[in-house]
Structure 1
Amino acid sequence: MAEGVFRSLTKSNSRIGQVDSAGTGAYHTLDPPDDRTMAILRKHNITDYDHGARQVRGEDFDEFDYIFAMDQQNLRDLQRVQRKVEGRGQKSKAQLMLFGEFAGSKKPEQVGDPYYGANNGFDTVYEQVTRFSNNFLRQVVNKDE
């Protein structure tokens, strides 16, 4: 969902290059997003999002400027991958952080996985990733405009 929201918000932003999302596990590889995710995106007029799940790769730490984790466990998993990459002598250009660092408050927020919860969890995630995306764009990407 975060990728779909971010892509929608940055369609015409020339400062944004490649946008992608990946999981720390290989679950659901190549599967499309959950139907409830797609319903929330459509509810908010994001109708052109298409994605197949993939697992994060070591190369991602060189290809992307930012890699965001949704929660602390995923952040720790990503830090392990990053250390492995750097342990092989490769430089990691990506800044790795919780997406919730852009929550707009002093305390970072974690994005809960709504998959096993009630449907309103998808609304909560949509609100969070939209807010985080807008704050990231304002504070980092467009800060000198």
Structure 2
Amino acid sequence: MPASSNSEAQKPVSVLFVCLGNICRSPMAEGVFRHITNHTRSNAHPMISSIDSCGTAAYHAGEPPDPRTLSVLKSHNITSSFYKHQARKFRNSDFKDFDYIFPMDVANEEDLLSLRRRLIKKGELKEEEAGEVMLFGVWGGEGKEEVDDPYYGGNKGFEIAYEQVERFSNGFVKMLEERGQAKN
């Protein structure tokens, strides 16, 4: 969970990006965030302990990202040599494993918050142990912006999603730096 005291201020944070199928928006956000923070599986950035992505549904579990996602990432020098991905579904344990859980849209945010409430009510999750769930778009500087699902559209939708997740990632990193949790 987010650091709250000065003694915890330097603790690296873990980040999970969430969309519906985990082949378009959330893996793009993961790739962009890894790139921005220069975080690879073999080279951990001091402000980030872990980065991952998943979907609220298991439609594409085990699959690589959509080819259009990979194409847009490649056009911005984020390649498979830097970033590997295999789609997976959100696990209940993700609430405990990640400090920040960033859904790409309101529907996924509502699904996660509803699941979180049910797990707390059933005693399977303590509220103080659960990571913070918030729309990733809050870090864009323009309110609670959603990343529209580009799956059924053309390449332009993927470019728009890239611009958004890059802007949101930079906004989130800036917040970490301002809180003193991160040092470049």
Q: Given the two structures, how large is their TM-score scaled by the length of structure 1?
A: 0.94
Task: Quote the Cα distance in structure 2 between the aligned partners of 1:80 and 1:54.
Answer: 20
**Which residue identity does 1:121 align to in structure 2?**
G
Could you say which residue in structure 2 is the equivalent of 1:93?
A: 130
2:99 corresponds to which residue?
65
Is there any run of 5+ residues in structure 2 with no aligned partner, and where? 1-27, 40-44
| 2: CA distance, partners of 1:11 / 1:119 | 26
Instruction: Show structure 1 runs of 4+ deviating over 4 A.
Output: none
- Is residue 46 from structure 1 mapped to residue 78 from structure 2 by the alignment? yes
Q: How does 1:16-31 map to 2 (within 5 A)?
A: 16-31=48-63
* TM-score using structure 2 length: 0.74
Letter in structure 2 aligned against 1:80: S
Match of 1:122 in 2: 158
Instruction: Calculate the aligned-residue CA RMSD, in Å.
Output: 1.2
For residues 24 and 78 of structure 1, what CA distance do their matches in structure 2 show? 8
Higher relative contact order by CA 8 Å / sep ≥ 6: 1 or 2? 2
Specify the SS of the correspondent of 2:101: strand
Deviation sequence 1:84-129 (CA, Å, 0-9, x none): 2212322242000000011112x21000000101110000000000
Deviation of 1:78 after TM superposition, in Å, equals: 0.7
Q: Which has the higher strand share?
A: 2
SS state of the match for residue 108, structure 2? helix
After superposition, give the CA deviation of every residue in 1:12-55 in whole Å (9 maximum; x if it has no partner).
53010111111001110010000010011110011122111111
Instruction: For structure 1, list consecutive stretches of 5 or more residues without a partner in the other structure.
Output: none
Distance 1:53 1:80 in 2: 22
